[in-house]
């Protein structure tokens, strides 16, 4: 019988992220505490740029955006935000959405599978994803449970289950 396999990936639905950003922008425009403060949140290339006239307001906009991401089903593990930085009279926060599994994270996941997973399971790094193979589908499901329970810095999805 052929080996069964699945891929471990870290991807973001860009449309959902864009919808979350648009919802956050609308809320910031309509909220009373942001009226007349030139507070904004927008795409800046692949990054997200948050501007406000005080550090607290910039953090509040980031909080609004994070809540919209959660409602849209995007994990906060994939959002990387810096600290508010003063730029003239305004404060800016630059955030990015991480996609793909870095090589060091892939190595950590592979080591976790080797150490704690079933012995019949093999994993190999393929670019920014990880392929997990085994003869037993039960072992593959055990690996998925193991990875879901592990506290990793990456938002993981499991695709191409064959």
At 39, give phi and psi (nearest 5°).
-80, 135
Ramachandran class of 107: left when φ > 0, alpha when ψ lies in -120 to 50, beta otherwise: alpha
Range(s) within the chain of domains with CATH label 3.30.70.990: 14-97
Average pLDDT over residues 88-92: 90
CATH superfamily name and code, 14-97 = YajQ-like, domain 2 (3.30.70.990)
CATH architecture of 4-11+101-159: 2-Layer Sandwich (3.30)
The pair of structure tokens assigned to 147 is 């990875």
Is pLDDT above 90 for 33?
no
Is pLDDT above 70 for 38?
yes
Is pLDDT above 90 for 37?
no
Handedness of CA 96, 15, 24, 41 (dihedral sign): positive
The pair of structure tokens assigned to 1 is 């019988």
pLDDT value, residue 2: 63
Q: Which residue has the tokens 């648009």?
A: 22
pLDDT value, residue 162: 85
Cα–Cα distance measured from residue 120 to residue 118, given in angstroms and rounded to the nearest whole number:
6
Round the average pLDDT of the chain to a whole number and report it: 91
**CA distances to 6, 7, 20, 119, 133 from 47, in Å:** 30, 27, 14, 41, 35
pTM recorded for the entire structure: 0.85
pLDDT value, residue 45: 85
Assign 63 a pLDDT band (cuts: 50, 70, 90).
very high
Nearest Cα to Cα of residue 41 among 88, 95, 97, 87: 95
């Amino acid at each position: 019988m052929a080996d069964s396999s699945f891929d471990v990936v870290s991807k973001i639905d860009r449309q959902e992220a864009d919808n979350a950003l648009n919802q956050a922008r609308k809320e910031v425009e309509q909220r009373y505490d942001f009226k007349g403060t030139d507070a904004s949140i927008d795409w800046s290339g692949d990054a997200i740029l948050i501007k406000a006239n005080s550090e607290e307001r910039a953090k509040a906009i980031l909080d609004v955006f994070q809540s919209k991401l959660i409602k849209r089903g995007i994990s906060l593990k994939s959002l990387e935000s810096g600290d508010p930085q003063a730029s003239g009279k305004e404060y800016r926060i630059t955030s990015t959405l991480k996609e793909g599994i870095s090589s060091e994270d892939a190595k950590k996941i592979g080591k976790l599978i080797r150490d704690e997973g079933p012995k019949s399971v093999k994993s190999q790094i393929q670019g920014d994803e990880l392929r997990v193979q085994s003869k037993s589908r039960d072992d593959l499901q055990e690996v998925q449970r193991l990875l879901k329970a592990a506290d990793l810095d990456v938002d993981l999805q499991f695709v191409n289950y064959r």
